[in-house]
Amino acid sequence: METKLFVGNLSYDTSEDDLRSLFSKAGSVASVTLIKDRDSGRSKGFAFVEMASQTEAEQAIKMFNGFSMDNRDLKVDKARPREERPYSGYDNSRYGQNKYGDRNRRGGGGGKSSRRY
């Protein structure tokens, strides 16, 4: 059974190949996923490494947690399940309503108009 590891505190210059070669010293590496910024394509400084077995994953944690790579001390631990995040879209139940629940009358203005009649 493959075990996914979280690898944090990476240098922005660290590549997936660098991680694969490092973690292969602890056992068989099933996959390496370096997390990158969607817009810039630059590394976010963490990755996920899947090891082929539980024992190899535990060995990798012992070997590489605190290991210095590219002048950075790595943080290696078992990956936790992804947490559900709240929907970030427009939520009518919280936003866009005044205290009376009327979204259509927003008020505002009240000053003199810049238009002359």
Residue 11 lies in a domain: yes
C-alpha 106 chain-centroid distance: 37
How much is the average pLDDT of 34-59? 96
Residue of higher predicted confidence among 66 and 117: 66
**Mean pLDDT of all residues in the chain?**
84
For residue 48, is it within any domain? yes
Prediction pTM value: 0.70
Count of structural domains within the chain? 1
- The tens digit of pLDDT for each residue in 55-99 reads 999 999 999 999 999 999 999 999 998 888 777 665 555 555 555
Residue-number span of the structural domain to which 73 is assigned: 3-78
- As a whole-number percent, the residues of the chain with pLDDT over 70 amount to 73
Provide the CATH number for the domain around residue 34: 3.30.70.330
User: Using an 8 Å Cβ cutoff, are 45 and 10 in contact?
Assistant: yes
Three-state secondary structure readout of 55-87:
HHHHHHHHHHCCCEECCEECEEEECCCCCCCCC
Q: Which residues pair with 33 in a beta bridge?
A: 48
Task: Give domain status of residue 86, yes or no.
Answer: no
pLDDT at 86: 79
Q: What is the pLDDT of residue 114?
A: 59
Cα 21–27–43 angle (5° rounding)? Answer: 40
